[in-house]
Amino acid sequence: MGAECRYEVAQAAYVKLALHALKHPSAAVNGLLVGRLIEPSSIPAVISVVDAVPLSHHPHHLPLLPTLELALTLVEDHLATQGEGLAVVGYYHANPRRDDADLPAVAKRVGDHIFRYFPRSAVLLIDNKKLEKAIKGKSREPVVQLYTRDSSKSWLQAGSDGSSQLFLKEPSTNSVLADHVTTKKWEEIVDFDDHLDDISK
pLDDT of residue 76: 85
Three-state DSSP state, 58: coil
pLDDT of residue 16: 94
Residue 137: HSE in the Cβ half-sphere, 13 Å Cα cutoff: 7
Residue 51: HSE in the Cβ half-sphere, 13 Å Cα cutoff: 12
- Residue 55 is inside which H or E element, if any? strand 45-56
pLDDT of residue 84: 82
pLDDT of residue 164: 59
pLDDT of residue 2: 45
Q: What length is written for the chain? A: 201
Domain ranges of the chain: 5-197
Give the strand pairing for 45-56 and 29-39.
Answer: antiparallel
pLDDT of residue 15: 92
Is the preceding peptide bond at 44 cis, omega within 30 degrees of 0? yes
What does the alpha-carbon distance between residue 21 and residue 86 come to, in Å, rounded to a whole number?
A: 24
What does the alpha-carbon distance between residue 91 and residue 196 come to, in Å, rounded to a whole number?
A: 20
What does the alpha-carbon distance between residue 89 and residue 20 come to, in Å, rounded to a whole number?
A: 18
The pTM (predicted TM-score) of the whole model is: 0.86
Three-class secondary structure assignment of 107-174: HHHHHHHHHCCCCCCEEEEECHHHHHHHHCCCCCCCCEEEEEECCCCCEEECCCCCCCEEEECCCCHH
What's the average pLDDT block by block, 10 residues per block, for the chain (201 residues)? 76 93 87 89 87 78 66 83 88 87 88 91 92 81 90 81 75 84 75 63 61
What does the alpha-carbon distance between residue 139 and residue 175 come to, in Å, rounded to a whole number?
A: 9
Query: Would you list the DSSP string of 14-37?
Result: HHHHHHHHHHSTTS-EEEEEEEEE
What does the alpha-carbon distance between residue 4 and residue 58 come to, in Å, rounded to a whole number?
A: 34
Query: What are φ and ψ of residue 129, in 5° steps?
Result: -70, -40
- Domain 5-197 belongs to what architecture? 3-Layer(aba) Sandwich (3.40)
